Amino acid sequence: MLRTTLAGLRLHKSRYVTTVLAILLGVMFISGTMVFADTLKASYEESVMGSATGVDAIATPAEPEYVEGEDPAEAVAFDEEQLERVRDLPEVASADGMLEGRAVLLDAEGRAVGFMPPAAVSLGDASRFSAKEGRLPEADDEIALATSTASSTGFEVGDTVTMLDADQEKRDFTLTGLVNFGVDPNFSMAGATVLTENVVREIAAPQGYSEIDVVAAEGTDDETVAKAVEEELGATAEVATGTEFGEELAEGVGAQTEVLRIALLLFGVIAMFVAAIVIYNTFAILIAQRQRELALLRCVGAKRGQVFRSVLTESFVVGMVSSVLGVLAGIGIGMAGARFAGPLMGTDVTASVVIGPGAVLSGLLLGTLMTVFSALVPAMRATRVAPLAALRTSATASGLEKGTGWVRVVFGLLLFAVSAGLIGLTRMTGPDPAGLFIVTGAALIAFVGVVVLGPLLVRGIVRLVGVPLRRVGVPSMLAVDNSVRNPRRAATAMIALTVGATLITGYSVVSASLESTLTKTLDEQFPVDYQISPQFNPDELTVGQEETETTEEGAEEGVAGTEEGLEGAEGPVEGTEEGTVEGTEVAVEDEEPLAALATIPSRVREDLEKESTVSKVFGVRSDSAEVAEEGVGGPLESMPVSTYVGADMGTDLTADMVEGELSDLEPGRVVLSEGYAGGMGVGDTLTLVTPEGDLELEIAAIAEDMQSLFGATVSEEDFVRAFPERTQDDTLMIRGAEGADSAELREAVYSAVDDHPTLQVDSVAEMKNQFSQMMDIAFYTIAAMLGLAIIIAVFGISNTMALSVLERTRESALLRALGLARGQLRRMLSIEAVLLCLIGAGIGIALGVVFGWAAAAAVLPNMVFAAPAGQIAVFIAVSVLAGLLAAVLPARRAAGTSITGALASE
């Protein structure tokens, strides 16, 4: 029996071509993903471990214990005395401390780099970091950059780099080297600069050493020196060997690569699921067509068990061969991904390609077992047919032509009802990330419903579409009849395409809805063309406020030489360089250190208001106040309080309201965001406890959450009463004049901030374009991955068509004998395949729109639904093309078959 099975495999190799391709593609994706992820992880670990093991022990300040109800305390940096004590240990050969602060780096255009200033560090001889290119700075006019910072700015070794010191003065440095800081979170977010210790102390004013790196004395192992340092520094430090420190960082990186691995494997699972459908369909048709052959084996003595084992052996051989080929292809894909995709992700793949046993075994086992399990049902069906009954039937795929009974219809409708109920549940509970799991479950149930009702859906859709097709010509009429001849086979063939179409359409709907929602949010939060805000520097968070308060004191007490004094509420007097208040120098706004700007200088606003290309400028000022009423403000003890200076509420700024109108905001009234309203409503009184006393306000309106308004929004007059020291804007918003040239408007905005390089200028149009580009890149990336499932589905349809052509050889020959031309026969089969693809794609698109909407609504408050008609139209066109491609080989074979030979074959 085994020889018979293997002989059959050799004789009918063409039957399994598309099945082998389907398995190969699925296994290739699984194994390739694992090789790629393992190589990426190894490169990360090599980068991290390579730097960390450059020293024997690393000490970092201990994190203070968190006390509930209190603000988290910061770790206390090491001082010079602690560093010297470590150096004096007999187990230590050398030790150096790392100074770490933040300093403003300017790009080639003279603008501050990044939303947050990069870290400014000094590296001693004993350091876990070294220059990847060039050398570390040795003189005070030299600098090294993190490789990520150099990449984003375009600086190269030998260039002149400019930074701002604490006195807002520009300092030029020569770039001597590049340092790979790897994935250390302290440096990977905002980047880093390396300077000499003297310069770091001057421009960044660090509080002490953020790290002490230790090299062990000769003959001392790393664990011994780490223990000695730990005993010397006591509870003030956390000490680890270089290896332990690197492993801890690598573990965090490993978590990131695991997320990537899981995300990619999900697409692999989808591909394998689609491949399983194709394999099942292939074996079901093959076994049905070979009923006479199997019955003949039974007649000559083969038992049911032998026939069953023969089919499983056949599937095992096909699955094993395909899986081996898939693993080999997957290794190649993984190597290519590590070589080319790694740099695109910002990762230098330095490690050798990692081909772990998991990548090989998982591919082999998954592909082989899936093939065997897919063949179980057809194999069992083959043993149930009586030998004589099978010999009396023609060699058709009997067993797949059964209709759709009422039990199947009721069960299918019940599944769709359950799926709809789950979607309704997510809409009742409101936006919640957990709703995504419910939507996923609903989608899976709906897929089962499509499988159950597939034959009924095929018949109904073909009858509807067939009305116009029957009038086109004979090939179209025959194609329509052939499509409903065996609806179960057609339904099984098209379900694989339905899965892929649902996923691609669903993601495109989520992507388009997210983009539409964000566009609406940006239009509400930034109803302007440009926004100006200070660069965020956590090390200098309060400096700007202190400068403002000092200036206010000078304004209140008067400036020598100015008879009318200063208008404190309006900020410093323009044109006054400096003044003396009782012998104390008052710093005016233009002399505020640029690196410490926490607000927008008023001169920027004044310059913009003079520009003819600008129609409106208004500012945002924010602070916080405690709420007197118990329960208001949710779990927070304080509430954000904001005002929009110079804005017409309801016109310049809009938001969706729960109740009331935004235009009703006036002195003595407040607008609350819904999350901070608690149980209060329009007409109630809110009391804010401010530094100037209690401020009682009537609630004018309640705004929806996730809008432009957050916390409490008050009038400018009330804000000045509550926070008289806040006289400068935190953010400026600029709207261009109608008809103004965009280039002239941009030039006007950037000219206004020329003297303040740390001010960040954001174009709302550019923000929208960047987000749109990000979403498009993500969509096309995911579509490309899901495209693998589509390709497998096309192979499945092609396989179904090929087997159908074999089954209908005599019929095709008879049609040819009756006058059907070869071109008409090819057209008939092409239309039949296109119908199958369009049905599968149409059902998938409908499901994708529904579940894409449900998924987006489950996580996005105030979601703006959008169905990308263009992308859906493209996918329909691709489905038509897929159908034409799937029919090429089967149609060619049918048209090339000899008429007399086919008619005489039975």
Asked whether the beta carbons of 830 and 482 are under 8 A apart, the reply is no
Q: How far is CA 748 from CA 280, 608, 609, 761, in A?
A: 66, 7, 10, 12
What is the distance between the alpha carbons of residues 740 and 733, in angstroms, rounded to a whole number? 16
Q: Report the 10 Å Cβ neighbour count for 50.
A: 15
| pLDDT interval class at 531 (50, 70, 90) | confident
**Residue 858 confidence (pLDDT):** 84
Q: What is the pLDDT of residues 862-900, one digit of tens each?
A: 788 888 888 888 888 888 888 888 788 778 877 777 777
Of 807, 818, 801, which Cα lies nearest the Cα of 892?
801
| pLDDT interval class at 569 (50, 70, 90) | very low
Asked whether the beta carbons of 771 and 518 are under 8 A apart, the reply is yes
One-letter amino acid at 855 equals A
Helix (H, G, I), strand (E, B) or coil at 870: helix
Q: Which of 145-159, 668-682, 715-729, 800-814 has the lowest mean pLDDT?
A: 800-814
Q: At what angle do helices 474-483 and 435-469 cross, to 10 degrees?
A: 140
Q: How far is CA 896 from CA 800, 808, 885, in A?
A: 18, 14, 17
Kindly report the length of the chain.
Answer: 906
One-letter amino acid at 683 equals G
One-letter amino acid at 56 equals D
Asked whether the beta carbons of 694 and 664 are under 8 A apart, the reply is no
Of 291, 277, 366, 310, which Cα lies nearest the Cα of 9?
310
Is the pLDDT at 228 greater than 90, yes or no? Answer: yes
What is the mean predicted confidence (pLDDT) over 269-291? 69
**Residue 592 confidence (pLDDT):** 40
Q: What is the pLDDT of residues 345-354, one digit of tens each?
A: 445 555 567 7
What is the mean predicted confidence (pLDDT) over 598-622? 90
According to DSSP H, which parts of 337-473 are helical? 342-344, 357-384, 387-392, 406-429, 435-469
Question: Mean of the per-residue pLDDT values for the chain?
Answer: 78
**Residue 177 confidence (pLDDT):** 94
**Residue 392 confidence (pLDDT):** 54
Percent of the chain with pLDDT over 90: 19
Of 585, 435, 529, which Cα lies nearest the Cα of 744?
529
Q: Which of 107-116, 280-289, 373-382 has the lowest mean pLDDT?
A: 280-289
Percent of the chain with pLDDT over 70: 75
What is the distance between the alpha carbons of residues 838 and 498, in angstroms, rounded to a whole number? 9
Is the pLDDT at 195 greater than 90, yes or no? Answer: yes
According to DSSP H, which parts of 526-638 are helical? 543-557, 602-609
Is the pLDDT at 394 greater than 60, yes or no? Answer: no
Tokens 């004096």 belong to which residue?
A: 88
| pLDDT interval class at 556 (50, 70, 90) | very low
According to DSSP H, which parts of 139-241 are helical? 147-153, 185-188, 197-204, 222-233
Helix (H, G, I), strand (E, B) or coil at 694: strand
Q: Report the 10 Å Cβ neighbour count for 707.
A: 21
**Residue 590 confidence (pLDDT):** 40
| pLDDT interval class at 668 (50, 70, 90) | very high
Tokens of residue 525, six digits = 């939060």
**For residue 257, how far is the Cα from the chain centroid?**
14
Q: How far is CA 66 from CA 73, 78, 186, 207, in A?
A: 7, 20, 21, 21
Decide the pairing of beta strands 685-690 and 693-703: antiparallel
**Residue 587 confidence (pLDDT):** 37
| pLDDT interval class at 399 (50, 70, 90) | very low
Asked whether the beta carbons of 147 and 175 are under 8 A apart, the reply is no
H/E element, 763: strand 759-763
| pLDDT interval class at 151 (50, 70, 90) | confident
What is the distance between the alpha carbons of residues 838 and 840, in angstroms, rounded to a whole number? 5
Question: 260: number of CA atoms within 13 Å, CB side?
Answer: 19
Is the pLDDT at 72 greater than 60, yes or no? Answer: no
**Residue 212 confidence (pLDDT):** 93
